[in-house]
Amino acid sequence: MELPKPMVIDLRIGSMGEDARIERATRTIGQMEHVFLDERARSLMEAETQVYSVECWRPVAEGTEGGLYWGSSTVYPGVVGEEYFMTRGHFHARRNRAEYYSTICGSGLLVLMDDQRRASVQEMRPGTTHYIPNETAHRVVNTGDVPLRFLACWPSDAGHDYATIDDRGFSVRVMRRGGHPEVVAQP
């Protein structure tokens, strides 16, 4: 049996280094059209401003049952209007798949929502590890002044369903009010 070569991860900062096997993606303000409530404020911002970035190690083919992926994400500090920078958010395409997030540095909130649009939030700070149950949409919001970095582990056959969130959104938003985060219900 041929096993994948081990990956080296700097756990102090959540970086997966320069290994050629790592896939990388960055989402900018210009790529986040209709994600934030205040579309006008978003459209006036510098399009190349980074909102979040992702590093991913996929040692098995996508869709492999029983396989796992490992990733590192960074959500940068900032706001669009009154809304903190955040990830786009998604359900898993195979809804019966769970995931783990473990916070390396920074502070923020993990927003969770089920199919009935019941939402909850969990504080993310260095050392917190979060279990994201199956059937649960998830999004990360940076409520601090420094990058929020976290590690993730998920099944290689989970897939991503962004369309449901694009269509219906999340039932809560995290806004900066009076300099502090406030979770606000959405219709």
User: Domain extents for the chain?
Assistant: 23-185
Q: What is the pLDDT of residue 1?
A: 75
Q: What is the pLDDT of residue 11?
A: 86
Q: Which whole number is the average pLDDT over 140-155?
A: 98
Across the chain, where does the E strand assignment appear?
A: 23-28, 50-57, 68-75, 79-80, 83-84, 99-105, 108-114, 119-124, 129-132, 136-142, 148-155, 172-177, 180-185
Nearest to 174 by CA among 116, 130, 119: 119
State the amino acid at position 29 in one-letter form: I
Question: Which residues contact residue 96 at a Cβ distance below 8 angstroms, ignoring those fewer than 6 apart?
Answer: 134, 135
CATH no. for 23-185: 2.60.120.10
Average pLDDT of the chain is: 96
- Write the pLDDT tens digit of every residue in 30-82: 999 999 999 999 999 999 999 999 999 999 999 999 999 999 999 999 999 99
Nearest to 145 by CA among 73, 101, 85: 85
**pLDDT band, very low/low/confident/very high, at 13 (cuts 50, 70, 90):** confident
Q: What is the pLDDT of residue 3?
A: 87
Q: What is the pLDDT of residue 187?
A: 82
Please determine, for residue 141, whether its predicted confidence score (pLDDT) is greater than 90. Answer: yes
Could you tell me if 157 and 141 are in contact, meaning their C-beta atoms sit under 8 angstroms apart?
Answer: no
Q: What is the pLDDT of residue 2?
A: 82
Please determine, for residue 16, whether its predicted confidence score (pLDDT) is greater than 90. Answer: no
- Cα–Cα distance measured from residue 148 to residue 109, given in angstroms and rounded to the nearest whole number: 10
- Cα–Cα distance measured from residue 83 to residue 142, given in angstroms and rounded to the nearest whole number: 10
Q: Is 94 exposed, middle or buried (0-12, 13-18, 19+ CB in 10 A)?
A: middle
Q: What is the pTM of this model?
A: 0.96
Q: What is the largest CA-CA distance in the chain?
A: 58
Q: What is the pLDDT of residue 66?
A: 95
- Write the pLDDT tens digit of every residue in 87-102: 999 999 999 999 999 9
Q: What is the pLDDT of residue 169?
A: 95
Residue 114 to residues 17, 119, 155: CA-CA distances in angstroms? Answer: 34, 7, 19
